[in-house]
Amino acid sequence: MGAALAIAFHCLGHHVFATARNPSKLAPLAEQGIETVQLDITSSSSITAAVGSNLLETNLWGHLAVTQPFLPLLLRSTATSPSPAYQGPRAMIVNHTSVGSLAALPFQGIYNASKAALAMLSETMRLELEGCFAGLRVIDLKTVGVKTNIIENNNINSASSPGGEHTDDVLPAETIYAPAREIVTRAMSQVDLKEGMKVTAEEWAAEVVPLLLGKNPPGAIWKGESASMARLAVSLPRWGNHGGGLFEGFLKKMTGLSEVESVMKESRGA
């Protein structure tokens, strides 16, 4: 999705710097005239070179490590006079926290936690910076379903056999979910979630960029498959002392957790 955003901004005439750990992924962007820089946001030396651990490192600490050295450049741009035709913010910090920062997707706990931490960091930066530096905005992208390679590239699918089927050794031998091992493995792979994703990264970017460049962009931008429904669902109250509610039931069914629960209860004679 980052590539789609970079292209969308570039097509509108903006000077875009696109970064990636793997330089080969930058080649298509460079061919379109986008300035590319190899950058590993988990590497301090890589960040220093660009300016002039794993899941949390990427989704939380990496964002902070990149923001800190680039912040002086953003603040400097708030003191400049933009084109009269441009009415948007003079500088922006845009973090992609996704709906995972609010929805507890089963079997994705570390990912959810990393995105929730980034969302809180973004909200804190918004409070700290926007009132002190006019023209600077901090914006949170609450993306829902978008067709990308994130599911194919997750650890479970990377561990699949050459034929694409999921192997059983992704769970430890002593897993507490042994009776439902196959179902849990499939749920962790998220392959079933992919079926409902129709929005492409390009379509998503085409909706996000105009909002970012608008006169008064919202602090949180909800886009992607069924974004409005997801936004409503995460705001619904929970029932009782143990959560519950329509959205929780939907999450269980969507991710296969409801099937896991049935198998586990049966195995335990419940």
Distance in angstroms (rounded) separating the CA atoms of residues 157 and 129: 40
For residue 14, the 8-state DSSP code is -
Catalytic residue, candidates 25, 115, 142, 265: 115
Answer yes or no: 115 catalytic.
Answer: yes
Percent helix, strand and coil across the chain, each to the nearest 5: 50, 10, 35
Q: How many CB atoms lie within 10 A of CB 182?
A: 13
- CA dihedral (70, 75, 79, 81) in degrees, to 10, reads 50
For 133-168, b/e burial (b = at least 16 CB within 10 A) is bebbbbbbbbbbbbbbeebeebebbeebeeeeebee
Q: Specify the amino acid at residue 169.
A: D
Distance in angstroms (rounded) separating the CA atoms of residues 168 and 41: 32
First and final CA of the chain: distance in angstroms?
A: 44
219: left (phi over 0), alpha (psi -120 to 50) or beta: alpha
Record the tokens describing residue 32, joined without a space.
């379109």
Distance in angstroms (rounded) separating the CA atoms of residues 21 and 19: 7
CB burial class (10 A; 0-12, 13-18, 19+) of residue 263? middle
Catalytic residue, candidates 111, 142, 147, 177: 111
Q: Which residues are catalytic?
A: 111, 115
